[in-house]
Amino acid sequence: MVFSFPFLSLCSRIETEPDRLVARTPTFGRWLLLGASCRRAEIDRVARRVTLERRRFWFFRSARRLDFRHVAAVTYGYDDVYPGAFLLASHRSLDLFTVGVRLANGEEFILAKYFGEGTFSNEGPYPDWVYWDQELIQWSGTQEKASRLFAQLLSKMIGVRIEPPNRT
């Protein structure tokens, strides 16, 4: 049985209006990084534009405006960022979901990131019953549900399909 708790995840904050959607770095994330890095993505259905603003190392700002007609797909990806996950066959995952857009020229931009505690997974040689204490009650963050909802909403607003991101 898996229980989901919002305090186990660090998700982009979403603000909605009838024709506008804004995703920004959560306040706790900005505090954690001492304001050194933040991201703000605004999707405007009336102007048919995606605006992406980033700040890195307090002073380096960048802004990019993308018209809906140049967006080929919404990207939705998952990574297990648990340190040493490639060495361990059984571990509790740390989930990182990313939602972005892919342009017609193949260029990709990440709009929002969702990070949090995942569930226990057993891919080792021992059967699941060996890890009964891990499997009995599991808890995780709400990052998967929140990221999927944002990707679906973004896909409907722009009018494109959802695809996995290109990995380089």
Q: Which pLDDT belongs to residue 102?
A: 93
pLDDT at site 162: 92
User: Please, what is the average pLDDT of the chain?
Assistant: 78
3-state class (DSSP) for residue 126: coil
pTM of the model: 0.77
Mean pLDDT of 66-82: 87
Kindly report the number of other CB atoms within 10 A of residue 155's CB atom: 19
Mean pLDDT confidence for 53-57 = 83
Quick one: pLDDT at residue 75?
Answer: 94
Residues 107-141 pLDDT 10s: 898 888 888 777 667 676 666 666 656 666 666 66
Longest CA span, the chain = 56
Contacts 24+ apart (CB under 8 A), 50-53: 50/101, 50/111, 50/158, 52/109, 52/111
Q: How confident is the model over 81-98, as a mean pLDDT?
A: 72
pLDDT band for position 58 (50/70/90)? confident
